[in-house]
Amino acid sequence: MREGARILLSHGSGGTLSRQLIHDLFLDAFRNEYLAPLNDQAVFSLPSTRIAFTTDSYVVSPLFFPGGDIGKLAVCGTINDLAVGGAEPLYLSASFIIEEGLLFEDLKRIVASMAETAEQAGVQIVTGDTKVVERGKGDKVFITTAGVGIVGEGIALSPASIRPGDVVIVSGCIGDHGVAVLTCREGIRLETPVGSDCAPLHGLARSMLAAHAGIRAMRDPTRGGLATALNEFAAASGSGIIIEEEAVPVREAVQGACELLGFDPLYLANEGKLVAVVPKNAACSVLDAMRGNVLGADAAVIGEVVSDHPGRVTLKTAIGTRRTVSMLSGEQLPRIC
């Protein structure tokens, strides 16, 4: 492929150029026995009949940002949606909606990043699709991944099972992804640059469930951030949640960027963090297990579940005041994931 080559409408025609793209790019990068026959579906056997199934579309702009790119995001995001359901991710699909004119080398870089992320995470991209839309009818590339994983016996994570007395644990510093994408997009230079936390969390989730299978619920606080995930927990359980502001780990650079730009870290997207609610008596063992994983090194208990203010999340500030942390309403940062 010559330098500066771009994706044409014909790459989405289903004909010769489509085939070439699939052979030269996707098959080569994702190589595995299920994708290789180029059927319209992958057929495989699972080690169990209890499965988790998820999907997400990725429209992040820009495509490349400090700490990641849309491809890494698309693989990690779907792995994480399986992981927080207590599933072991196994197989992913990847569907590309490409805007005519995308640089072939950008697509290649994205696909290589997906392949690398999948390999490191031990999952396979086994089926996919490519569509090309006319210039001005898309935005470079959108990727939709779906994923299938198996859920072990006895694991039944559900926000509905959350009850007063439980504790809330977050796996590390929040807001990194949001700040990384935003500052990159707007060309803002921070004194201490912040990279996205984009990472696959299934290893972390696995070690947490090994420490205590009765974890109530987990979620990866992406769009809408920690505040939204906690509000979903509160709404689903009908309990209240109290968070200690000082206990929530936030990088100094992220805090600084938030003050500068007028954002609240609680609402910023994360792509390599999870929040879990666990019974109080299991908190120590779960926390120990988390801290034994590099992705949970900064894990911290940030609050507890209460019978007061059912369905609401309250923040206890450093100076002792309390405020309600509501769901995000109205505008937020678009195209963050």
Helix (H, G, I), strand (E, B) or coil at 85: coil
State both tokens at 234. 């509160």
User: Which residues, 6 or more positions from 159, have their beta carbon under 8 angstroms from its beta carbon?
Assistant: 216, 217, 219, 232, 233, 236, 237, 277
Q: How far is the CB of 188 from its own copies (least distance, A)?
A: 19
Closer CB to its own copies, 229 or 253, in the complex:
229
Contacts of 299 (CB under 8 A, 6+ apart): 169, 170, 171, 172, 287, 290, 291
Smallest separation, CB 255 to its own copies (Å)? 22
Burial of residue 213, with CB atoms counted within 10 A of its CB: 0-12 exposed, 13-18 middle, 19 or more buried: middle
Nearer to its own copies, 125 or 253 (CB): 125
Q: Cβ 295 to its own copies, closest distance in Å? A: 18
- Tell me how far, at minimum, the Cβ of 4 lies from its own copies, in Å: 20
- What residues have CB less than 8 Å from 11, skipping those under 6 apart? 17, 18, 21, 98, 130, 132
Tell me phi and psi for residue 199, to 5 degrees.
-160, 150
Cβ nearer to its own copies, comparing 91 with 104: 91
Q: How far is the CB of 336 from its own copies (least distance, A)?
A: 9
Nearer to its own copies, 224 or 253 (CB): 224
Alpha-carbon span 171 to 158, nearest angstrom = 18
- The closest alpha carbon to 145, from 84, 71, 216, 211, belongs to 71
Total residue count of the chain as it appears in this document: 337
89 backbone dihedrals φ, ψ, rounded to 5° = -65, 140
CB of 129 vs its own copies, minimal distance in Å: 5
Cβ nearer to its own copies, comparing 222 with 239: 222
Q: Which of 14, 292 has the CB closer to its own copies?
A: 14
One-letter amino acid for residue 14 of the chain: G
Nearer to its own copies, 43 or 318 (CB): 43
Find the shortest distance in angstroms from Cβ 13 to its own copies.
Answer: 4
Burial of 66 (0-12, 13-18, 19+ CB in 10 A): middle
Taking the complex as a whole, the smallest distance from the CB of residue 46 to its own copies amounts, in Å, to 5
Q: Is the peptide bond before 279 cis (omega within 30 degrees of 0)?
A: no
The residue (of 151 and 253) whose beta carbon lies closer to its own copies is: 151
Handedness of CA 10, 72, 217, 247 (dihedral sign): negative
